[in-house]
Amino acid sequence: MRSIVNHLIQLQELTLIRDEHRALSEGEHLDRLSDSIDELTRKLPAQMRGVYNRLQKRDHIVAAPVNEDACSMCGMKIPISQVQAVRKGEIIQNCPSCARVLYWTEVPRWTGDAPSRLAPRKNGIQRFSHSSLMIPELQATTREEAIAELVGTMAENGFTEEREKLFSLALDREAILSTAVDCNLAYPHVRGVEGGALTLAMGISHKGIAWGAPNDELTHIIFFFVIPTAVSAFYLKLLAGLTETFMKEEPRQALMDCKEPLELWKALSKATRYTVR
């Protein structure tokens, strides 16, 4: 049964990648992704294919990891006996609330402090980031070095204690399809980092990095996300908002002109005040 669950997770990831490219208005890879999704769907056992199709019509997250003995999507507490069954992986287990297929995985975890309820309410992009996660001058010269640098700043600021795993998962995602898009932008990310909120780090490369962008353009602005499973749909809206903003040259140049992390964070907040809510 583990092989079937892994098959579902792979199928789900391809579907979410296709959703990302639609949000970015990047149509170049959609047909190829759709063909791969159709092929993987046909290879599912007939009964599981029916389950997948029913779940997928409702939401593209059809499989969810168990996080702290609960379904990471709906938050339903799972009985200990079922949690143990999920860990064994001998029989397909469904969430008793949302019916998604449950699976067990060891993922990087958020380790920072929870925000205080008494703290002033943050708006826009400030809900997902902080000046300490801004790098106005990346030292990296390659895609791998840039991801390592961005993962490193998250680790140094208490987001995760497992930087190597986060780095490895980010590279695994890039291996499926490059996250670079037009206008010198890239959106590397890791999905399924549980225990915290969607978080964004950003770095600027003035020299540019060969990231595999369309037309072999160099990438200068890199947004790195960690995404809890439950906010995958919202991540697409955030992605669309950032792309709407930074397809324009003026806001891109405003980021490129920043010299300090706080200045960069303020420029990012100002540029996205109408597109990220």
User: How far is 131 from 119, CA to CA, in rounded Å?
Assistant: 17
CATH architecture of 124-271: 3-Layer(aba) Sandwich (3.40)
Q: Which two tokens stand for residue 36?
A: 């791969």
Give the per-residue pLDDT at 115. Answer: 47
Which CATH code fits 2-103? Answer: 1.10.287.1490
Per the CB < 8 A criterion, the answer to whether 95 and 76 are in contact is: yes
Structure confidence by residue, pLDDT tens digits, 188-220: 999 988 777 889 999 999 999 999 887 889 999
Domain limits of the chain?
2-103, 124-271
Q: What proportion of the chain, given as a percentage, has pLDDT over 70? A: 94
Give the per-residue pLDDT at 94. Answer: 96
In the structure, what pLDDT confidence band is assigned to residue 108 with cuts at 50, 70 and 90? low
Structure confidence by residue, pLDDT tens digits, 140-159: 999 999 999 999 999 998 87
User: How far is 213 from 203, CA to CA, in rounded Å?
Assistant: 17
Structure confidence by residue, pLDDT tens digits, 31-90: 989 999 999 999 999 999 999 999 999 999 999 999 889 999 999 999 999 999 999 999
In the structure, what pLDDT confidence band is assigned to residue 117 with cuts at 50, 70 and 90? very low
Per the CB < 8 A criterion, the answer to whether 187 and 223 are in contact is: yes
Give the per-residue pLDDT at 197. Answer: 81
